Amino acid sequence: MTLLTMPTVQALVFVLGCALIHAARAHAAALARVLTEAALLLAVLLLVSAAINSAVEATLGGSGPYDAIVALDAS
């Protein structure tokens, strides 16, 4: 009689498998939450950066992101 044919061992393996699946789902949910928050933060930072860049270009003139630095050095 092999070890996996015993009913108690089969039940124990089933319970351990269920616990493993439950733990994996909990970790996946937590990881998804963290990744979603990171993506939202990155999007907000990108929008703020674009707004600041646009405001600097509108104020100091120029067409590129480094034209404002050149304009400040020239004055």
Query: What integer pLDDT is reported at residue 65 of this predicted model?
Result: 58
Sole residue written with tokens 């990108």: 46
- Cα dihedral 37, 43, 45, 50 in deg (nearest 10): 180
pLDDT digits (tens, 9 = 90+) for 4-46: 678 888 889 899 999 999 999 889 988 999 999 999 999 999 9
Provide the token pair at 61: 């003139």
Query: What integer pLDDT is reported at residue 20 of this predicted model?
Result: 92
Rounded Cα–Cα distance for residues 45 and 17 (Å): 42
